[in-house]
Amino acid sequence: MTLNTDWAVRWIKGSAAVVSEHRVELITLDREIGDGDHGENLDRGFSAVLPKLDDLPADATPGDALKLVATTLISTVGGAAGPLYGTAYLKAAGAVAGHAELDGEAVVAMLTAARDGIVLRGKAEAGDKTMVDAWTPAVDAASSALADGLGEAAILDAAATAAEAGARATEPLVARKGRASYLGERAIGHRDPGAQSSALLLRVAADAAAG
Ligand code: ADP
Ligand code: MG
Ligand code: MG
């Protein structure tokens, strides 16, 4: 399936649905090592995006749709995740600006820019038990898939699968950024909520491309 604006809109609508379905799961994860609001924050943010999609002009690009997500998340989500995801979507939008359709290289550029935006904003490194631990393996897997000659949908699928593994791999870690870092070793055994939500969002991107 072509990664055009219809795809971006399916991704965004699917993201709102998945964040709503997984609201309690994300709240529970954040209650264990944070303040218990991650699911609510994201649900509020993506719900606020939905009505705005109707205002996208007919000639809107995927980047325009991603920019709408960015500005809405920045103004509605708050906490750590609002500015982090807001920056991710803003940088992703910039990386694909002007493209009516994304090819494999554009997909990798989009994912890389999103991850780099999160790192720029939050200064977390791999292994700090944050959403970066989902995004960095996703970017690496997407780059490998592109180098292997795979198409856009397969690149997104590889990214989502790597993000899911990355989110699981946060469980044994001690956190060095965010609220969970206050817990020291008590964070061990709990999955990072932002890494989990990142994996969910990337899976929706892949599903929207396969659809
Ligand atoms: P808050 O912690 O302000 O309540 P959320 O609960 O919405 O915000 O988001 C928490 C998530 O944000 C964490 O699970 C983690 O993935 C991510 N996070 C927190 N700080 C950072 C950081 N400095 N860099 C990257 N991600 C971070
Ligand atoms: Mg929280
Ligand atoms: Mg909070």
Residue 211, pLDDT score:
66
Q: Is residue 86 lining ligand 1, measured as CB closer than 6 Å?
A: no
What is the structure's pLDDT at 92? 98
Q: Dig out the tokens for 206 from the structure.
A: 């892949």
CATH 3.30.450.20 fits 5-210, yes or no: no
* CA-nearest residue, atom 22 of ligand 1: 122
CA 27, CA 32: separation in Å to the nearest integer?
A: 9
Of 131, 136, 171, 201, the one to substitute when testing ligand 1's pocket (max ligand atoms within 8 A of C-beta) is 131
- Is the CB of residue 12 less than 8 Å from the CB of residue 62? no
Residue owning the nearest CA to atom 21 of ligand 1: 178
For the entire predicted model, the pTM comes to: 0.98
- For 64, other C-beta atoms within 10 Å of its C-beta total 17
What six digits make up the tokens of 209? 């491309």
The atom number, within ligand 1, closest to the CA of 132 reads 25
* Residue 69 zone, left/alpha/beta (φ > 0; ψ -120 to 50; rest): alpha
Q: Which of 177, 160, 173 is nearest to 15 (CA)?
A: 160
Tell which atom from ligand 1 comes closest to the C-alpha of 118. 25
Q: How far apart are CA 34 and CA 2, in angstroms?
A: 39
What pLDDT sits at residue 1? 78
CB distance 159 to 206 below 8 Å: yes
Is the Cβ atom of 118 under 6 angstroms away from ligand 1? Answer: yes
Question: Helix-strand-coil percent breakdown of the chain, rounded to 5?
Answer: 75, 0, 25
Q: Does residue 194 line the site of ligand 1, with CB under 6 A?
A: yes
What is the CA(129)–ligand 2 centre distance, in A? Answer: 14
Length of the chain as a residue count? 211
pLDDT digits (tens, 9 = 90+) for 17-63: 999 999 999 999 999 999 999 999 999 999 999 999 999 999 999 99
Give the tens place of pLDDT for each residue, 70-117.
999 999 998 999 999 999 999 999 999 999 999 999 999 999 999 999
